[in-house]
């Protein structure tokens, strides 16, 4: 599945970091895990959100020129991201794409709202802490879901008919009629 918006549009439209966009200067697994989980939960039903890794944020706006990520670390980060997403229950995999912007390498992650909400992840990635928590977005913040949020997430999930759900692995085959 392709990411539905270009990096140029995200970076050049004066889009402020808010409920659907998160800028991260560096690869920092724990807050990124929590944000992916929050976007997957998509409590406002806005279509999830985007994380741009390699972009510093100041007062909610991306800082230009962008910091970027060393190209040699992109493969490792994507492998780390895959392992990280296996810590989300039920399993949730966002769409990830390395991109080049202003001559710098970035990692663009799109986490659309999932169909098996609520999604939960570890509160901490340290080995001795294994508490599992659901996260949601409130304004430009990733926060722990309240009991009311969890009820809302169950309700949202139950209101999407199976026939209306997107199948990202489906293919369309068109054949000629004779």
In the chain, where are the structural domains located?
Answer: 7-164
Kindly report the pTM of this predicted structure.
0.86
Residue 24 pLDDT:
96
Average pLDDT over residues 81-96: 97
Q: Where are the beta strands (DSSP E) in 12-122?
A: 21-24, 49-53, 57-58, 61-62, 95-101, 104-111, 120-122
Residues 121-174: pLDDT tens digits?
999 998 877 899 999 999 889 999 999 999 999 988 777 666 666 666 677 777
C-alpha 112/C-alpha 16 separation (Å) is 19
Average pLDDT over residues 92-121: 96
Residue 32 pLDDT:
98
C-alpha 6/C-alpha 51 separation (Å) is 13
Residue 171 pLDDT:
74
Residues 2-61: pLDDT tens digits?
898 899 988 887 665 577 999 999 999 999 999 999 999 999 988 899 999 999 999 888
Q: Which CATH superfamily is domain 7-164 in?
A: Schlafen, AAA domain (3.30.950.30)
From the centroid of its chain, how far is CA 158? 22
């Amino acid at each position: 599945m392709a990411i539905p918006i270009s990096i140029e549009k995200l970076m050049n439209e004066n889009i402020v970091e808010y409920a659907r966009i998160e800028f991260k200067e560096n690869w920092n697994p724990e807050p990124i895990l929590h944000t992916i989980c929050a976007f997957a939960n998509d409590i406002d039903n806005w279509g999830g959100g985007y994380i741009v890794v390699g972009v510093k944020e100041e007062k909610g706006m991306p800082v230009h020129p962008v910091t970027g990520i060393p190209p040699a670390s992109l493969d490792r980060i994507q492998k780390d991201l895959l392992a990280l997403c296996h810590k989300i229950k039920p399993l949730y995999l966002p769409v990830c794409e390395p991109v080049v912007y202003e001559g710098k390498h970035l990692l663009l992650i799109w986490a659309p709202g999932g169909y098996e909400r609520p999604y939960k992840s570890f509160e901490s990635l340290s080995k001795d802490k294994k508490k599992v928590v659901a996260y949601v977005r409130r304004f430009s913040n990733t926060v722990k879901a309240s009991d009311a949020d969890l009820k809302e997430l169950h309700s949202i999930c139950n209101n999407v008919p199976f026939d209306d759900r997107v199948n990202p692995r489906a293919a369309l085959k068109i054949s000629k009629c004779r």
